[in-house]
Structure 1
Amino acid sequence: SQAAENKRTSGGRKAEEAARGQEKLEVGCRRNRDVQ
């Protein structure tokens, strides 16, 4: 049960990091568009 719980939390953390990275990419693209 502990291993399953660890897997769930690490998977959630990865998803969170991916979402954060996606946000950063979108913000960066928007900034580039504003500059041009």
Structure 2
Amino acid sequence: MMFEQATSSSLIFAFFFHNSLSQEKEHNNITDNK
């Protein structure tokens, strides 16, 4: 049970981390196009 909880929370963390990186890339692309 504890192992499953740790795995799911790390998956969620990786998901949010990936999202924030993608948003930064999109933001940089938008500023470059201006």
TM-score between both structures, scaled by the size of structure 1: 0.88
Distance in 1 (CA, whole Å) between partners of 2:33 and 2:8 is: 37
Question: Gapped runs of 5+ residues in structure 2?
Answer: none
Question: Gapped runs of 5+ residues in structure 1?
Answer: none
Distance in 1 (CA, whole Å) between partners of 2:33 and 2:3 is: 45
% same residue: 12
State the AA in 1 paired with 2:25.
K
Distance in 1 (CA, whole Å) between partners of 2:29 and 2:6 is: 35
* Structure 2 match to 1:32: 33
Aligned length: 33
Distance in 1 (CA, whole Å) between partners of 2:33 and 2:7 is: 39
